[in-house]
Amino acid sequence: DGFERAWERARDVMGWYSREELEFLWNSLESLNQLLNVLEIGCYYGRSTSVIADACAMRGATLWVIDPFHHRGVDVPEAQVSVVRVLHQPGLTWHLIPRKSSEVQTRDIPETLDAIHIDGSHEPQDVEIDCQLALPKLRSGGIVAFHDWADYMPGVAIGATEYVKNF
């Protein structure tokens, strides 16, 4: 099973995603009839990236990853090393953009995205910036997934809702 192989690779990568969340993300990607370009904003050490990368490699899709590798005021170079290790796998085409999404231009990512995973800063204004960058490029029938859309992390829902209200 594809997810079981992906989970074997991902489970030892540092991160907060549970097995159940990653399986849901995997199944969401697998449900798409077209998977050419996937964007992930925020990856920490690459636990979710690992599963997304496996799905992309199986389908011949290109994965774009944006992360400044700066967490809670501290540069985390070992996180970037971990993510690059996760991305180096047979059959995967990938692009790593080591910047904040607010520093990324729309021309730096594909014109059309089939799937978007947003798990960067959870501050409302930053989530709104992530949405402004990525969501206009989501194709009809594509998917967007937000991590930590929950009561314990209200900034994610607030930022995404503000983007939709102002769209």
Express each pLDDT in 6-57 by its tens digit.
Answer: 999 999 999 999 999 999 999 999 999 999 999 999 999 999 999 999 999 9
User: What's phi and psi for 118, nearest 5 deg?
Assistant: -115, 115
Mean pLDDT in the chain?
96
Q: What angle do CA 132, 137, 143 make, to 5 degrees?
A: 95
Residue 90 sits at φ, ψ, to 5 deg, of -60, 135
Tell me how crowded residue 126 is: count the other CB atoms within 10 A of its CB.
20
Whether 167 shows a pLDDT value over 80: the answer reads no
Is residue 100 classed as helix, strand or coil in its secondary structure? coil
